[in-house]
Chains A and B, each alone.
Chain A
Amino acid sequence: MSIEIKNVAKRFGGFVALDDVSVSIPSGQLTALLGPSGGGKSTLLRIIAGLERADSGRVEIEGLDATDLPPQKRNVGFVFQHYAAFKHLSVHRNVAFGLEIRKRPKAEIRSRVEELLALVHLEQFADRLPSQLSGGQRQRMALARALAVQPTVLLLDEPFGALDAKVRKELREWLRRLHDEVHVTTVFVTHDQEEALEVADEIVVINEGRVEQIGSPDDLYDQPANDFVMRFLGPVTQLGDRLVRPHDLQIHTGAPDPADVTGRITRITRIGFEIRAEITTSDQIVTVTLTRNEFLSLNVEAGSTVQVRVAPQIHAGSATGNRSEILRAT
């Protein structure tokens, strides 16, 4: 295990940011800390980096107790949401910063910086100032700067949060590919479940200062430990007293089966290839999503009466089982 967090707690005044959190983060993998804003995930990352001190608990990095080490002695690379570019230094000098601090020979610094700038595709921007770069370019520079010192772990705090949707998507694919090349243990914080599911090897779901679940993206999506995780990782709807994903529901117009619920289609929304149907049953409104082809083959329209059921072999949480989780998530 590369990063070992044991019983870490942190308060800011009366606000509990982390409440007795213990997590093991595996070496060489890309781990996401996922959760809603204010849930404590950034605080945990900053405690790992030494930018924040835990009130209690221990942090170990590669077997070394780092709890009392200042940030400059932890050998971690940190990437900030708003880049934290050194505004008065050129891109080259930004990336060289950590190496200059370590007093490496000039020639070595130059070749290492050139290598890194090539890795993040910024070779031709070496002499520019950060203010002359786009947001995505600045963040790639910040990543190169963090990687320059060959950190034991690379920590990214909402690294794509300040970028627009398209650049964000490009950069997250790029980060995944970069990680496949560089293999440094990487932890990134995000509140975007799609980003976590797409990029991470392992996801730690954090909410209200506690770890809700740890697992691979598939585990979390298919076997959520509780309703909070289920709701946070994707869309949900309620059928009877069961919490299910809208795309795990099936509708048909045949004769009702005992397991089926009868309802009337009250609204049809089309989002690209996806059709979202709202079906009003006797006591609730159920959302079902299906592909355009599935929908067309059903030959229904708003006002049609249909049967709804959960597709076989699908996990469904009990909506009544854990009321507080549901109230909190909604």
Chain B
Amino acid sequence: MAESTAPRVRTGRRPSTYLLRLIVTGYLVLLVAWPVFLVGRNAFADGTTDIQAILDDPDIVHALQLTVLVAIIAVVINTVFGVGISILLVRYTFPGRRLLNALLDVPLSVSPIVVGLALVLVYGGRTGWFGPTLQNAGIQIIFATPGIVLATVFVALPLVIREVVPVLEEVGDEQEQAARSLGANAIQTFRRITLPAIKWGVIYGVVLSLARSLGEFGAVKVVSGNVLGQTRTATLVVEEKYLNFDRGGAYATAFLLALVAVACIIVVSVIRPKDQR
């Protein structure tokens, strides 16, 4: 950005530039790249035996499948509601809009474990505020898959919105107005004009949500009940194995989790066109 304004900066491949790059690179390597790499290396410390062992254990396969299922449901819910809330926030003014906006940051700022406890207070089968009613209707939320989905949706809620809102603001509403004046109704306008315009914001939000949903631990730990083969997710498997001194299994599972998340982000940054946000 600064290049275009100050020629000094453009010509300035000066020592300080290299020093800054070195500091930033070193920081990121020590904090992110090296630890993640070590997880991968530990996962393959004994060749592929650890990975193989995990994939042969039906309970762990179940945990991986549950994680993926929960993540997909959570992402679908968060995408639909996220796009809807984004449009509401950007295109409409209503009383309480700022409050809603602030509220949307709560899931990011509150510890996931608090989220888990809060959900138990509301949906808990015996003592929850809303739980007994649902229980009597035959619906169990806490210590079952719906609870895990709920917790995951909660923690990943703002990610789509925070990606889509700036794009919606930047695109403006003139194209939508033009579409309306050309005869398109609300649904046609959304499908043909709004959605293509915010496409990359939505995709990036989905990827971030997916990565976050796959990796959720704290809130899920509280609400899932952690029953082997039923409500134990992949992150809980990692903890369980690590605490039971099965380092190999823990690293192998952790590696699979990290792999999916990192792969998503890399794929999107590669295919995302450079000129679009």
Contact = CB atoms under 8 A, between A and B. Distances in A.
Interface string B15-39: 0000000000000000000000000
Interface stretch (B122-130, B137-145, B158-166, B174-182): B174-182
B193 interface: yes
A323 interface: no
Contacts of A82: 174
A72 B175 contact: no
Q: Chain B contact residues (Cβ within 8 angstroms of A): what range?
A: 10 to 19
B202 to A, nearest CB: 14
Interface in B183-197: 183-185, 188, 192-193, 196-197
B180 A76 contact: no
Given A86-B193, A88-B196, A102 B177 contact: no
Contact of A149 (B182, B185, B196): B182
B177 A71 contact: yes
B255 to A, nearest CB: 39
Contact of B181 (A49, A86, A87): A49
A87 B178 contact: no
Given A86-B193, A88-B196, A72 B174 contact: no
Among A50, A71, A77, A146, which residue has the most Cβ atoms of chain B within 10 A?
A71
A88 B197 contact: yes
B206 to A, nearest CB: 19
A49 B174 CA distance: 13
Interface string A78-98: 101010111110000000011
Interface string A271-299: 00000000000000000000000000000
A146 to B, nearest CB: 8
Contacts of B174: 80, 82, 84
Given A87-B197, A101-B188, A80 B183 contact: no
A149 B180 contact: no
Q: Chain A contact residues (Cβ within 8 angstroms of B): what range?
A: 20 to 34
A97 B177 CA distance: 13
A141 to B, nearest CB: 11
A77 B182 CA distance: 7
Contacts of A75: 183
B175 A71 contact: no
Interface in A94-111: 97-98, 101-102
Given A75-B183, A88-B196, A97-B192, 17 more contacts: A51-B181, A70-B180, A72-B180, A72-B183, A74-B181, A76-B181, A77-B182, A78-B178, A80-B178, A82-B174, A86-B175, A101-B188, A102-B183, A142-B178, A145-B182, A146-B182, A148-B182
Shortest Cβ-Cβ A-B pairs, 5 listed: A98-B182, A84-B174, A78-B181, A84-B178, A71-B180
18 contacts: A50-B180, A72-B180, A72-B181, A72-B183, A78-B181, A84-B175, A84-B177, A86-B179, A87-B175, A87-B197, A88-B196, A97-B182, A97-B184, A97-B192, A98-B182, A101-B188, A145-B178, A145-B182
Interface of B: 174-175, 177-185, 188, 192-193, 196-197
